[in-house]
Amino acid sequence: MTRKLAAEKVSAWYGPKKAIEDISLDFEEHATTAIIGPSGCGKSTLIRCLNRLHETVPKARVEGKVLLDDKDVYADDPVAVRRRVGMVFQKANPFPTMSVYDNVAAALRLNGVRDRGKLDKIVKRSLEQAALWDEVKDYLGKPGVSLSGGQQQRLCIARALAAEPEVLLMDEPCSALDPIATAKIEDLIFDLKKDYTVVIVTHNMQQAARVADTTAFMYLGHLIEVGGTRELFERPRETLTESYITGRFG
């Protein structure tokens, strides 16, 4: 396994408030890494540092390095980084004025692709990858926001995949979904890691156990422990990790 992405001593602030401190974490290629931890522990902040989205928040600041193929993304153009590192958000956020088709095609269109044949091909492929094609193939002209919540989230996954990223960041992608939609997305994550490097933030420990190869546990802005998912859940090294995964958290 090779290292695709790595955080090196990453700290991040919102104004004067430090959200994460000195986090170093490797993400393997073609594997899924889950980041778990209680609310407010900095999981989302960490992955938003990975595609340089954190710095778009007013007064937010990042220190440290994020290496993508061993090159620091903070030495590069943020736009170029975000093309290689896609993201799916906690709440489905399809573009409200765009149809299903246009939502998926957005990444390409907004970056200047006009060839209709190419767009059609990528839209279809992305929707198939996101396990949504069969449900929407006859409604591609309908507004993206008219789909159900679970479908909208898969639409957002398709939109991210259409940009052909190398890494896919998922920030609690199932937190607003019912168990059936969640199961669909988990199956999807399982398939996606064949082609992508997946990083998923989740509240749900069962979910991490189901989809992740590696799991990292964060608490109060610190990385407490990282290891193989099975190992972390069955034989945690840190007492903090153990009390969190056994639900004895104070």
The residues of the shown chain that bind another protein, judged by CB under 8 A, are: 51, 53, 56, 58, 79-84, 86-87, 89, 91, 93-97, 99-102, 106-107, 110-111, 120, 123-124, 137-138, 140-143, 156, 159-160, 163
Q: How far is CA 87 from CA 158, 201, 224, in A?
A: 11, 11, 24
Complex with another protein: residue 152 or 214, whichever CB lies closer: 152
Least distance in angstroms from the C-beta of 57 to another protein: 9
Q: For residue 99, what is the DSSP state? A: B
* Beta carbons within 8 Å of 4's beta carbon, 6+ residues apart: 27, 28, 29, 68, 69, 166, 167, 197
Least distance in angstroms from the C-beta of 22 to another protein: 25
Complex with another protein: residue 152 or 241, whichever CB lies closer: 152
Least distance in angstroms from the C-beta of 53 to another protein: 6
Cβ-defined contacts of 221-228 (< 8 Å, 24+): 221/18, 221/19, 221/20, 221/21, 221/41, 221/42, 222/20, 222/21, 222/22, 222/23, 223/23, 223/24, 223/25, 224/37, 226/25
Complex with another protein: residue 99 or 229, whichever CB lies closer: 99
Least distance in angstroms from the C-beta of 129 to another protein: 15
Distance (Å, rounded) from C-alpha 156 to C-alpha 154?
5
Distance (Å, rounded) from C-alpha 240 to C-alpha 225?
9
Complex with another protein: residue 72 or 242, whichever CB lies closer: 72
Least distance in angstroms from the C-beta of 226 to another protein: 25
Complex with another protein: residue 21 or 166, whichever CB lies closer: 166
